[in-house]
Amino acid sequence: MKEAVIVSTARTPIAKAYRGGFNNLGGASLGAASVAEAVKRAGIDPARIEDVIMGSALQQGATGSNVARQIALRAGLPVTVSGMTLDRQCSSGLMAVATAAKQVMYDGMDCVVGGGLDSISLVQNEHMNLHRIVDEELMAISPNFFMPMLQTAEVVAKRYNISREAMDEYGAQSQARTAAAYEAGKFDDELVPVTCKRTVWD
C-alpha cells in the first residue's frame, strides 16, 4: 500500500454571502483559483494529475454539472484529467480529500487533487431548485431528515442552554480573532489572491 501525502495547499479568502466580494463568482472560477495555485505550489507537471475531486453541499446552478471537472479545465489542467464532485453536506470537502488519499493508497493513482467549495450567493437564492425536495415517505421514517442547519442550531441551543448573548459573544470573539490573524499575516501562506467583479444593488 502506498502512502498518501499532501504536498501543497491553497485556498481563496472567505467572503460574505450575498453582499461579499465573491457574490458574482461562479463555482468553476472559485475552485479553479485554488486548484491552479495548489498545483503550481506543488511544482509538478499538471499532466501527472489523474483526478480532481471536489466536495460541494449544494450541487446545482453555479456549482452543478460536475463542478470538479469544470474546475480542472478552468485551472488549466489537461483535458485528460478527470473530475468527480462529492456531496456529504458539511464534510463534503473533507470527504473529497479523504477520497483523493484513498485513490493514491489503494486505486493506483499517482497525483490527485482534493478540495471543496460552495457558493451560497449564487446557489442558495430565489433561483434554487426546491421542487419536491421533501420526500414524504422518508419523512415518515426520519421526521428531521430535511431539517436545515440553522434549525438544528436552535435545537442545540435549547438542549444545552446556550443563550443568544453567549452565542453573540462567541461569534464576536471569533470574528475579532480572525481579523487579527489576517492583519498579522497568519493566513498569507494559505491564501490565493482572486480578482473578481462584485454585484452591488442600490
pLDDT in tens, 54-72: 999 999 999 999 999 999 9
Question: What per-residue confidence (pLDDT) applies to 23?
Answer: 95
Phi and psi torsions of 82, nearest 5°: -85, 175
For the chain, the domains span: 27-126, 136-179
In this prediction the pTM is 0.92
Instruction: Report pLDDT digits (tens) over 183-192.
Output: 999 999 999 9
pLDDT band at 5 (very low <50, low <70, confident <90, very high): very high
Segment (H or E) for 196: none
Task: Indicate whether 17 pLDDT > 80.
Answer: yes
Q: What backbone torsions phi and psi does residue 38 show, to the nearest 5 degrees? A: -65, -40
Which residues are CB-contacts of 108 (< 8 A; sequence separation ≥ 6)?
none
> Per-residue pLDDT for 96 more than 90?
yes
Q: pLDDT, tens digit, for every residue of 121-159? A: 999 999 999 999 999 999 999 999 999 989 999 999 999
In the chain, what is the greatest distance between 2 CA atoms, to the nearest angstrom?
58
> For residues 153 and 166, what is the distance between their CA atoms, to the nearest angstrom?
14
pLDDT tier at 1 (50, 70, 90 boundaries)? confident
Q: Alpha helices, DSSP H only, in the chain?
A: 27-42, 67-74, 92-105, 120-123, 136-141, 149-159, 164-183
Q: What is the pLDDT of residue 201?
A: 81
Kindly list the strands in the beta sheet with 111-116, ordered across the sheet, starting from the edge strand earlier in the chain: 82-86, 49-55, 111-116
- Looking at residue 101, what is its pLDDT? 99
- Residue 202: what pLDDT? 73
> Does position 97 have pLDDT exceeding 80, yes or no?
yes
| Predicted confidence (pLDDT) at residue 43 exceeds the cutoff of 80 | yes
Reading the block at residue 201, the C-alpha cell is: 444593488
Residue (of 17, 1, 70, 10) closest to 36 by Cα position: 10
| Dihedral Cα 81, 33, 38, 45, nearest 10 deg | 40
The C-alpha atoms of residue 141 and residue 186 are separated, in whole angstroms, by: 47
Q: Tell me the three cell numbers of residue 22.
A: 465573491
> Mean pLDDT in the chain?
96
108: cell is 493506483
CATH class entry, domain 27-126: alpha beta
